[in-house]
Amino acid sequence: MPKMTFIAPDGNRLEVEAPEGLSVLEIAHRNKIDLEGACEGSLACSTCHIVVAPEWYDKLAAASDDEEDMLDLAFGLTSTSRLGCQIIMKPELDGLVVTLPSATRNMMVDKK
Ligand code: FES
């Protein structure tokens, strides 16, 4: 099973299973990580904004124009920002690392 790591704004890391075909947003929700995703992946919000670790950014499929447009609205945009609902897990992304932006009210929830 591929894995990926979420890093909370406070630096806490959580490695989780990342089943192929699920989006980073869906993986976050499965693991009770508080990434909002208000529009549930229909590219109508920017609340699923995450920051991809630079070494992983180029391995992702390029963002669509619609994703770029929504990202422009995201608070705390960085050069490796993406929308979590648009990153679909695949074997090459095993080990992916993303950070939850600190400039939102996203919070990592301890699942224990
Ligand atoms: Fe709304 Fe990703 S959940 S754009």
pLDDT score of 107 more than 70? no
Q: Which atom, in ligand 1's list, is nearest to the CA of 40?
A: 3
Ligand 1 pocket, residue 41 CB under 6 Å: yes
DSSP, collapsed to helix, strand or coil, labels residue 7 as strand
CA of 40 relative to ligand 1 center, distance in Å: 6
pLDDT score of 112 more than 80? no
Q: Which atom, in ligand 1's list, is nearest to the CA of 39?
A: 1
Average pLDDT over residues 86-98: 97
CA-nearest of 24, 28, 32 to 96 is 24
4, containing H or E segment: strand 3-7
The predicted pLDDT at position 106 comes to: 44
The predicted pLDDT at position 99 comes to: 96
Ligand 1 pocket, residue 67 CB under 6 Å: no
Which of 23, 34, 45 is the pocket-test mutation for ligand 1 (most atoms within 8 Å of CB)?
A: 45
When pLDDT is cut at 50, 70 and 90, the band that residue 103 belongs to is: low
Which residues fall within 8 angstroms of residue 48, CB to CB, at 6 or more apart? 24, 25, 35, 36, 37, 38, 41, 83, 84, 85
C-alpha dist (Å) from residue 70 to 7, 30, 61, 74, 93:
22, 24, 17, 7, 23
**pTM, full prediction:** 0.89
The predicted pLDDT at position 76 comes to: 87
